[in-house]
Amino acid sequence: MPLEESNSPNRQEDCAHRGSLPGALLVMISSFLAQLLFVIGEVLVQGVLPCTRQVDATESEPKSFIFMSEDALINPDKLLVLIHGNGVVRAGQWARRLIINEDLDSGTQIPYIKRAIGEGYGVIVLNPNENYIEVEKTKAQIQLSSDCSDEPAEKRERKDKIQKETKKRRDFYEKYRNPQKEKETMQIYIRDNGSPEEHAIYVWDHFISQSAAENVFFVAHSYGGLAFVELMIQREAEVKNKVTAVALTDSVHNVWHQEVGKTIREWMRENCCNWVSSSEPLDTSVESMLPDCPRVSAGTERHELTSWKSFPSVFKFFSEAVKAKNSLVKPTPMRRSNRIKYEEF
């Protein structure tokens, strides 16, 4: 089985980012995130990536994880998939800034998870930023990386001297900035999960597409929206067949740069809605130059708050999408206003 049950998942933080913060703030972040993982762990279990159902999965290779409700793969009705944005955030988080400065409700996915479970959804929480592990380099690897050069010996010696002096200064600063990271490390990428886009496709192939749910819903924030669009490009027929509605929150996708085809753009116009940062009231239509999904105001001008501020509207949108699917009438996720404000993407 690909699941490992855990009531209090103990996942390591990204030390490089943690170490760049003052000690008191670091303790505060760690406390908040520990509380977050504990709360999520009360209602969700972990799925290991690469999943152990793969015949070639090994115990020793680098692994990541996702969170799932216990009924995620067997719920016959509804499944909610949550994707956060890019950067230092991890599974279950929208924005660390909000977690630190405001509260868990606005900064994490806990309200979405609790409401979804309360309304009978299965839940899958993606973890698209955990793409590699860091391991300490051996002396042989360090020496090999410095020796692999075709430059003349004299030039290489000067370059090595400069690099050593630079490294000495950097190491001194690094020890002050991050006492935990004194060794030279290398990154080993997690198989088939080396980027947010790869991660979304992998979880789709091995979990979401295998679920029993008749109606799959996505909430994708910021770069998570780009990852979803890439998923659509790679798995268009499957997504159209299984996904009922998609709520984007200030998504950074771009149908031109991602070379999204006409049939996908048409599907997005009918089945997606993007709650964008705007000074307009919540759900007010916001015009766009891009020919994809409708854009409406999230009721805030702060990018990181768009998922929280649009929270009630997202679930209303999903409910209307199910009713519309059953009656073969598409939902109307926004209200029109004469206060529509033009806003560039």
Nearest CA to 110 among 98, 93, 97? 93
What is the Cα–Cα distance from 216 to 82, expressed in whole angstroms?
Answer: 11
- The residues with which 335 forms a beta bridge, in sequence order, are 284
CB 265 within 8 A of CB 290: no
Catalytic pick from 222, 278, 307, 313? 222
What are 83's two structure tokens? 């994707």
Based on the residue annotation, tell me whether 337 is a catalytic residue of this protein. no
What is the Cα–Cα distance from 46 to 2, expressed in whole angstroms?
Answer: 8
In the chain, which ranges are E strands? 3-4, 44-49, 64-69, 78-83, 121-125, 132-136, 185-189, 215-221, 243-249, 272-276, 295-297
133: alpha, beta or left? (left if phi > 0; alpha if psi -120 to 50): beta
The side-by-side arrangement of strands in the sheet containing 78-83 is 3-4, 44-49, 64-69, 121-125, 78-83, 215-221, 243-249, 272-276, 295-297
| φ, ψ of residue 60 in degrees (nearest 5) | -85, -20
Nearest CA to 41 among 4, 14, 78, 89? 4
Going from the C-alpha of 50 to that of each of 2, 184, 191, 272, the distances in angstroms are 9, 26, 7, 29
DSSP state, residue 304: G
- The residues with which 44 forms a beta bridge, in sequence order, are 69
Residue-wise burial string across 164-202, b where 16 or more C-beta atoms lie within 10 A, e elsewhere = eeeeeeeeeebeeebeebeeeeeeeebbbbeebbbbbbb
Residues carrying an active site annotation: 222
